[in-house]
Structure 1
Amino acid sequence: MTTWLLVGACLHASLLIFLPPRVAAAAPVVILLLKYIKFLFIRQGLLRNPAAQDVHYGRWSTHLPQPDGSYTNVPSDREMVIVVLGFRSSHPQGRFAPGCPEVGKVFADMWDDAQAHRDEYGYLGKTASMFPLETDCNNAMIYISYW
């Protein structure tokens, strides 16, 4: 991101050399205004939200195959379960979307409860919060827990 900021600063400096200051200053203001208008259109549902592409809403689970690649009716014949729990906001406001802080609090309360009832639930532990960096929206959170 630093490189893009430097490239933008150089382009803006070159605009200041060739154009009057008011015209050169208008470029970033217009770009910011266009981004804000796009945000409003996405928020109102007038434009498709690119962050919500390929999102499966609701609860989902997976069935892992046996070592030979076959599937059985029993989810596992072992006594350890690995749960990958994640949250991704596809809202145009990202981490500042309504409800995101509440999700973080619910996750924290859930892990505190699992820790408090470790023997009853069979909870073994979890990873720290992981934030994937390859998403363009950068507003996802993942935990891996062991039961």
Structure 2
Amino acid sequence: MASMGSSRFSQAARSNRRLGIIIDNFTLSTWLCLAAGLYGTISYALPSAARALLVLPLAVLILRTSDALLIMSGLRHNRWMDGVIEGTVTAIPPDAQDDLASGGNNGNIVVFLVGARVNHPLGILAPGAKEFVDYFSSMARDLEKERQDFGMLGASSWLANKERSSDNDILLIYYFRTVAGVEKFAHSESHRKGWEWYTKWSKQYKHLALRHELYHVPAGHHENVFLNSHPTLVGATAWPLETSEKDGAGAWRSPLIAADKKALRTMWGRMGKNSQELRTRE
């Protein structure tokens, strides 16, 4: 079965998390009040500039409305579909794809969730928040840089959606080959430095929240499916391949394959032969 393509870097590494955190640091009403206050101040100080300032947001609104109408009418390319894989695909470790199609299993996988939140009115401007974010980001960069050594397959990043009044909760979802890889990263220099800083200052900065969860999912106990979706979550991972001297080092492969084969059309089929035992237990 052919792979649907590959990606060397995880989704979390490609995304601009900091910009999202800054935007989501305050509520929409706060941002609107700040903008209105700025416009009012400039209008009061420079009355002649008031009309000119009003032109800019109106022009942006007109351009965006026109852009949406052109896309809806088919006269302009729908960039929201960029990267979308049409149809149904599933993410299966490359070394288990042929085995699964012939009745085997879908391989082991480790899911590691790590999240952080600043429970403070100033959000990321709160005391200690800058250092907190810097250490957090440094660990994420080092994990990405040495992903093959740690067996890290990829990651996706998410921001909380109105779960609490402070809207700056970030969650990183990592996928590893083994629990040993997670433990190896936990003993790495970058993680040690970040953890030492947090344990030193956590009593003083009690508004800095940190948490993680780890799930070791054996073969036959997990499955996934993506319909008309861009690669995300486990679908955005990249698996290192054993390469010969001819191929060279650093070969990576996406786990996404078309789910149109009979063995992959159902949940139980994508879980593999071990799913029969799981079904019986249910």
TM normalised by structure 1 equals 0.42
**Greater share of strand residues, 1 or 2?**
2
Q: More relative contact order in 1 or in 2 (CA 8 Å, sep 6+)?
A: 2
Q: TM-score, normalised by structure 2?
A: 0.25
